[in-house]
């Protein structure tokens, strides 16, 4: 199963998870120090939806944004 919306094509994107220590300057500290950066993925909110296509019903994987916008009807 692909982690992709079948309507808009939304998929996972990569980013960084940043570990920090220390107290922020606005709270009276000397600032935050970065202690580690790790790669991570941001996944879309995918749901399985039963949709009527023509005469038959099909299960498709759709993101919550498309469901909310009514694109599955």
Best CA proximity match to 36, nearest among 63, 54, 12, 18 = 18
Q: How confident is the model at residue 60 (pLDDT cuts 50, 70, 90)?
A: very high
And the tokens for 44? 């879309």
**Cβ burial 16-48 (10 Å sphere, 16+ → b, else e):** eeeeeeeeeeeeeeeeeeeeeeeeeeeebebee
Domains of the chain (ranges, CATH numbers):
13-69 (2.20.150.30)
**Looking at residue 5, what is its pLDDT?**
95
Task: Report yes or no: 6 and 53 within 8 Å, Cβ to Cβ.
Answer: no
Query: How do residues 31-50 score in pLDDT, each as one tens digit?
Result: 999 999 999 999 999 999 99
pLDDT of 1 > 80? The answer is no
Global pTM? 0.74
> How far apart, in whole angstroms, are the C-alpha atoms of residue 61 and residue 8?
11
């Amino acid at each position: 199963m692909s982690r992709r919306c079948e309507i808009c094509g939304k998929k996972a994107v990569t980013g960084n998870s940043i570990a920090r220590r220390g107290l922020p300057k606005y709270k009276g500290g000397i600032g935050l120090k970065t202690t580690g950066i790790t790669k991570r993925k941001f996944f879309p909110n995918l749901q399985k939806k039963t949709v009527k296509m023509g005469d038959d019903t099909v299960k498709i994987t759709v993101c919550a944004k498309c469901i909310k916008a009514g694109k599955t009807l």
